[in-house]
Structure 1
Amino acid sequence: MALSRRTILLSGAALGAAGAAAGLPVAAAASPGPLRHDPFTLGVASGDPDHDGFVLWTRLAPEPLAEDGLGGMPSRVVPVAWEVAADERFRHVVRRGVRLARPESAHSVHVELNGLLPGREYFYRFRAERWLSPAGRTRTAPAPWTMPSALAMGFASCSQYEHGYFTAYRRLAETEPELILHLGDYQYEYAKDTYNVPGGNPRDHEGPETRTLANYRQRHAQYKTDTDLQAAHAVAPWVVVFDDHEVENNWADEVPEAPDPDFPARRAAAFQAYYENMPLRRTSIPRGIDMQLYRRVRWGRLATFHMLDTRQYRDDQACGDGYKSCADASDPARSITGAAQEAWLLDGFRRSEARWDLLGQQVFFAQRDNNSGPLTVTSMDAWDGYAASRDRITRGWTAAGVRNPVVLTGDVHAHWASDLKLDYADPTSRTVGSELVCSSITSTGDGADSPTGSHPWLAFNPHLRFQNSLRGYVRTTITPTELTANFDVLPYVSRPDAPAYTRATFVIEDRVPGLNLTYDRPPAAARTAAPGVDQGRQTVEAETVRP
């Protein structure tokens, strides 16, 4: 499926004449020696929309996979011109300016705009010397006092470059969302041939396991060269949060997965590279090992997105991590958010006037017991490992009278949908919210389809309503009266250009917490398998292979 006319990434060559006609300034080099190759190999992006602005991003890298992480750029400041237009041909330019791309920031560019009109679509692009970037589309959020009729929002997570092609990003872009959330594991830290899928990885990582700033910069650049990912960045503003693999697997605050005296330096390097490669506001500029990432994005009175950070402030995983029956997981002193973030979130619930309050976060929120016997065995890396923390948050939104609480989650490499309870031990207890979990873009490879309701854990977790282990993303349409969630999947990611289709659809009605299944596509009618995929194979849990 080709991108529509509105979402095509217009090439620099195609826009050259338009750029000259619009008067886009050609920024002069700060020192002798012009850029001899296209520096816009990593594409463009926008993010964190507000009612009067957003962030624009690009990074100059004519040699994106350079081992020093600097993208083949000269060690000098490069002026980068930018412009924002009301039309995709840039005939009506509304703002323009110049930013300096500096070597110490890997020649990344962040333009934080305000003073624009609310609820409007805009187009943007950059120029460095004689080179013109592709164009991107973005938008401002609606005015705070308005009630939009609808918001088309998609969310995704877990894109392991080695495990497959990023076709899912392109398929998401083709749906033309107005907003995209990325809920973590945007890139993975492993060296080549370290984290493998059955049959071998379709692609390879460049460089060693990421530990230094140069390593992380190179890895981000490799991911950003993927044209499917570039298409998704260029179609709509993104709101991003990291999980563990942006640093290393299953880290918790200052505690690494395995003992490592250099972990603070590694974390600081990972945060610096993450900021340099994401369309984040200046409030998220790292300060050593600290980075302010939890924040809110409001979409008029329709929706408030509370974006959480469940890595940087959490207590270490209980009972040595993994799936355990662990009394310490219920210790009220333990937190996955930290006290300050928890207080911020609960205050946001009390102050909210939104029709929908959505928590954009990383790890499974609902209880998920993997044991059919009397013991409750759950993941210590998810909210189950911080049960009292989850209880405080859930009781916080019920006490505040939040109208429609919905948790949005990534991490587990499978689609899930859940009703949320105050008491998971009592299946008849009141439902107080909903959780939507997106599958991975590629992580753990092709995956497998299965009939709805066939996953064995659903039998002893009746609040879990749906599971599917194909790769994909979730598309939502949010209106004042309902939230519709389409669980889109791809039959394979081991080769490029897979189609996407909706596997199941759930609807959440205004003031009626809980999920209503409205569409379910049987596996037999769904697809033609990729070579080597067993149509009948039941994937019980993709987490068993390094989530």
Structure 2
Amino acid sequence: MSVRVGSTRRNFVTVTGAAAALALAGNLPDLDFAKAGATGGVDRRDPFTLGVASGDPLPDAVVIWTRLAPEPLAPFGGMDRRPVEVQWQLAEDEQFHRVVRHGTTQARPESSHSVHVDVQGLRPWRHYWYRFRVGNQVSPVGRTRTAPAYDQSVPVMSMAFASCQAWWEGWYTAYADMARREHDVVFFLGDYIYEFGIDRGVRPHSNEDYVTRQTVTLDEYRNRYASYKMDPDLQAAHASAPWVVTVDDHEVVDNWADEAHPSAPPAQFLVRRANAFRAYWEHMPLRLAQLPNGPDMQLYRRIRYGRLAEFSVLDTRQYRSDQAYGDGSKFPGPDVLDPTRTLTGDEQERWLLDGWTASQARWNVLAQQNALARLDVKDGPELLVPMDTWDGYAASRDRVLGGAHQRKIRNLVSIGGDLHRSVASDLKLDFANPDSPTVGSEFVGTSISSGLDGMDLDPGGLTLLRENPHIKYGNFQRGYVSCTITPRQWISDYRVVDRVTVPNGTVSTRAKLLVEDGRPGIRVVAGDPAPHRAPARYGAGSPATT
């Protein structure tokens, strides 16, 4: 279990008041946004090198984001340590002929000159376009969309989800494809950056200090985000649709658990966690409700899309018990079944189950970081499962899936990441019994770039298919998942890239998977689901990549 050091948390000094100013938007007089320029002594460097983004859509509001950084890899992004006035506009058309909201805010140095504007008073289920201006410099234009009204019947929505984007291990070709498909919303499920240092990579400049250095301080985390967000394909994906984001481990450090990590004593680790969370919030399109308070950050929340879908976004890092048996892949002994150990924490677990009880949505979606399904990663009769996934917290999983089953939750779908591979599974009430009731369906997406090119099926993927009959599809290439949701069906297109170690790879749909309303479980409608599924052969296995 994690060591509790509440007094350490209480000693953190918060800057909520200063940061709150970032999201307060005053009114501007009518003006010609594109032509209005500043006079005299204006910094003519482009401050919008990190692009624009929007996020957490509501029926009447959306957050729009940018960060001023004319020299993104320089200290403080090349900005002076003073507040800067930023003007913004949101319009009903891409040419900004019909501007419906506009205002000013301040980009402040204590938040790395980031801007989070919570634009309110919008119409539900409508596209908008937005942009920013500083002096005579105008940002790129972003496209966003509000959520439907809570009681609205939605005939169809499109969404995508992604995770794990190690910059040095490949180009973001998948994001270019995602941007072209113009989804209604994108969910990012963790590992936006990687904190550890490296000694080489496939991209130019992979040996630069800003890539090879491990991130520990606030400035180092800020620099790492800047280096990732300079990528044009990532910027295009952010500008194409609102994003809903949550963290996994590498936003802080590999496989951290609550206040525990072997790299440092708890009090010292919490300082690092506070640095990581601060930089994360500064670079994501998040509301003030997600502003960190030292090492604490409120990330679990719900996003509703009318009566069609309700997304419960989880945080499976801040409240979890320490990994059992020293982490890694192990036999699930008594500690795994201990009901006092938790992946979500008691409060978040109650929030999730209570929300499902009250839900009126056709599809109830668990947007989280990991595989909920069991992953036996060893060939033969011996059971070996990862301790960092839900497998290492079987009591937590049993309470969640058992709670969904008892409540007769309609159309439970889990989306996850982290594995650096695609895995689609039926969610069983008892994974040890293939005849156990199917409670829901799970789509785990592969990485955007982490793990290099990969292949259709590696030895670890073959083992997963042989040893886990509930797994219906597997693949070990890079990419993301694009989903079309209607009241009658959920279709997941697994979009894969042939190569990410070179620019401009080819993206294609490797498999098209279907879940029908009222029929939990996955059906493959296009693509080869498990080309090498066969009776288990016994011998050494290859663990799943995590």
The answer as to whether partners of 2:495 and 2:508 remain within 8 angstroms in 1 is yes
Aligned partner of 1:42 among 50, 61, 71: 50
Structure 1 residue matching 2:78: 3-state secondary structure: coil
In the alignment, what sits opposite 1:223?
A: 228
Structure 1 residue 25: deviation in Å?
A: 8.5
1:324 is aligned to 330
2:6 matched residue in structure 1: none
Q: 2:409 aligns with which of 399, 402, 408?
A: 402
Tell which deviates more after alignment, 43-52 or 182-191. Answer: 182-191
Q: Does 1:315 align with 2:315?
A: no
The answer to whether residue 359 in structure 2 is matched with residue 352 in structure 1 is yes
Shift of 1:96: 0.2
Secondary structure in 1 aligned to 2:279? helix
Q: Distance in 2 between the 1:266 and 1:241 partners? A: 18
Q: When the two structures are superposed, what TM-score results if normalisation uses the length of structure 1? A: 0.89
Gaps of 5+ in 2: 1-29, 532-540
Q: Which of 447, 450, 456 lines up with 2:454 in the alignment?
A: 447
Aligned residues: 503
The answer for the alignment partner of 2:123 in structure 1 is: 117
Residue 88 of structure 1: which of 80, 83, 94 is its match? 94
Residues 1:175 and 1:222: Cα distance change in structure 2 (over 3 Å) = same
Contact persistence 1:164–1:202 (CA under 8 A): no
Which residue identity lines up with residue 275 of structure 2 in the other structure?
A
SS at match of 2:77: coil
Query: What is the DSSP-based 3-state SS (H/G/I as helix, E as strand, rest coil) of the residue aligned with 1:389?
Result: helix
Instruction: Give, as a single letter, the amino acid of the residue that structure 2 aligns with 1:520.
Output: G
**Unmatched segments (≥5 aa) in structure 1:** 1-19, 525-538
Q: Which residue of 1 aligns with 2:170?
A: 164
- Describe the shift of the 1:433–1:251 C-alpha distance in structure 2 as closer, same or farther (beyond 3 A): same
Whole-angstrom CA distance in 1 between matches of 2:163 and 2:309: 21
What's the CA shift string for 1:219-246, capped at 9, x where partnerless? 1001110000000000000000010000
Could you list the per-position Cα deviations for residues 440-465 of structure 1 after superposition, in whole angstroms to 9, with x for gaps in the alignment?
00001010113999712222210011
- Contact conserved, 1:81 with 1:99, CA < 8 A, in 2? yes
Secondary structure at the counterpart of residue 444 of structure 1: coil
Per-residue deviation, 1:521? 5.4
Q: Matches of 2:326 and 2:528 in 1, distance apart?
A: 39
1:26 deviation in Å?
4.7
Q: CA deviation at 1:21?
A: 7.5
Q: 2:447–2:479: 8 Å Cα contact kept in structure 1?
A: yes
The answer as to whether partners of 1:502 and 1:521 remain within 8 angstroms in 2 is no
In structure 1, the residue matched to 2:11 is none
**Aligned counterparts of 2:92 and 2:473: Cα–Cα separation in 1:** 42
- For residues 42 and 490 of structure 1, the distance between their equivalents in structure 2, rounded to whole angstroms, comes to 25
Contact 1:451 1:522 in 2 (8 A): no
CA distance in 2, matches of 1:341, 1:26: 48
Q: Is 1:61 matched up with 2:69?
A: yes
Q: From the superposition, tell whether residues 244 and 236 of structure 1 become closer, same or farther in structure 2 (CA, over 3 Å).
A: same
Q: Compute the displacement of 1:373 (Å).
A: 3.4
CA distance in 2: counterparts of 1:167 and 1:128, whole angstroms: 31
1:519 is aligned to: 526
1:470-481 → structure 2 map (5 Å cutoff): 470-481=477-488
Structure 1 stretch 205-214 or stretch 96-105: which is displaced more? Answer: 205-214
| SS of structure 2 residue aligned to 1:71 | helix
For 1:392, give the aligned amino acid. Answer: R
Partners of 1:101 and 1:26 in 2: how far apart? Answer: 19
2:140 corresponds to 1:134: yes
Q: Summarize the alignment of residues 345-494 of structure 1 with structure 2, pairs less than 5 Å apart.
A: 345-450=352-457, 455-494=462-501
> Any conservation in 2 of the 1:178–1:236 contact (CA below 8 Å)?
yes
Distance in 1 separating the partners of 2:451 and 2:209: 19
Cα 1:108/1:453, change in 2 over 3 Å:
closer
Aligned counterpart in structure 1 of residue 307 of structure 2, from 297, 301, 304: 301
CA contact (8 A) 2:161 2:188 kept: yes
Aligned to 2:160: 154
1:532 maps to: none
1:5-42 CA-partner distances (Å, limit 9, x unpaired)? xxxxxxxxxxxxxxx9844695869xx95323100000
Secondary structure in 1 aligned to 2:223? helix
Whether the 8 Å contact between 2:70 and 2:77 is mirrored in structure 1 is: yes
Q: In the alignment, which of 341, 344, 365 is matched to residue 348 of structure 2?
A: 341
Give the whole-Å Cα distance in 2 for the aligned partners of 1:523 and 1:298.
34
State the alpha-carbon separation in 2 of the partners of residues 292 and 214 from structure 1. Answer: 22
DSSP 3-state at the match of 1:517: strand
Instruction: Provide Cα deviations, 1:294-344, integer angstroms capped at 9, x if missing partner.
Output: 000000110001000000110000000000013211111100000110010
- Answer yes or no: is the 8 Å Cα contact 1:297–1:306 preserved in 2: yes
The one-letter amino acid paired with 2:508 is Y
Match of 1:528 in 2: none
Equivalent position SS for 2:54: strand
- Kept in 2, the 8 Å contact 1:248–1:257? The answer is no
Q: Distance in 1 between matches of 2:449 and 2:264?
A: 29
CA distance in structure 2 between the partners assigned to 1:22 and 1:400 by the alignment: 55
Q: Quick check: 1:202–1:495 contact (8 Å CA) kept in 2? A: no
Letter in 2 for 1:131: Q
Q: Supply the AA of the counterpart residue of 1:299.
A: Y
Tell me the distance in 2 between the aligned counterparts of 1:36 and 1:122: 28
Secondary structure, aligned partner of 2:356 = helix
The alpha-carbon distance between structure 1 residues 523 and 206, as it changes in their structure 2 partners (threshold 3 A), is farther
Seen in structure 2, the aligned counterparts of structure 1 residues 86 and 405 have a Cα distance that, compared at 3 Å, is same
C-alpha distance in 1 between matches for 2:505 and 2:205: 16
Question: Relative to 1, partners in 2 of residues 1:514 and 1:203: Cα closer, same or farther, differing over 3 Å?
Answer: farther
Structure 1 CA distance for aligned equivalents of residues 91 and 125 of structure 2: 14
Tell me, yes or no, if the aligned pair for 1:395 and 1:422 is still in contact at 8 Å: yes
For residues 112 and 173 of structure 1, the distance between their equivalents in structure 2, rounded to whole angstroms, comes to 23
Q: 2:481 aligns to what SS in structure 1?
A: strand
2:263 aligned with 1:255, yes or no? no
Letter in 1 for 2:375: R
**Structure 1 position 276, deviation (Å):** 0.3
Q: Aligned to 2:364, what secondary structure does the other structure show?
A: strand
Distance 1:202 1:80 in 2: 33
After TM superposition, the score normalised by the length of structure 2 is: 0.89
- SS in structure 1 of the partner of residue 152 of structure 2: coil
Letter in 1 for 2:63: V
Aligned counterpart in structure 2 of residue 182 of structure 1, from 185, 188, 192 = 188
Secondary structure of residue in 1 paired with 2:196? coil
Work out the percentage of aligned pairs sharing the same amino acid.
Answer: 51
Asked if 1:232 is matched to 2:237, the reply is yes
Letter in 2 for 1:179: V
Contact between 1:179 and 1:236, CA under 8 Å: does it hold in 2? yes
Evaluate the alpha carbon distance shift between residue 301 and residue 257 of structure 1 in structure 2; reply closer, same or farther with a 3 A threshold: farther
Supply the distance in 2 between the matched residues of 1:163 and 1:286 (Cα, whole angstroms): 30
Tell me which moved more, 143-152 or 514-523.
514-523
Moved over 6 A (4+): 451-454
Deviation of 1:523 after TM superposition, in Å, equals 12
TM-aligned CA deviation for residue 401 of structure 1? 1.9
Q: Describe the shift of the 1:302–1:25 C-alpha distance in structure 2 as closer, same or farther (beyond 3 A).
A: farther
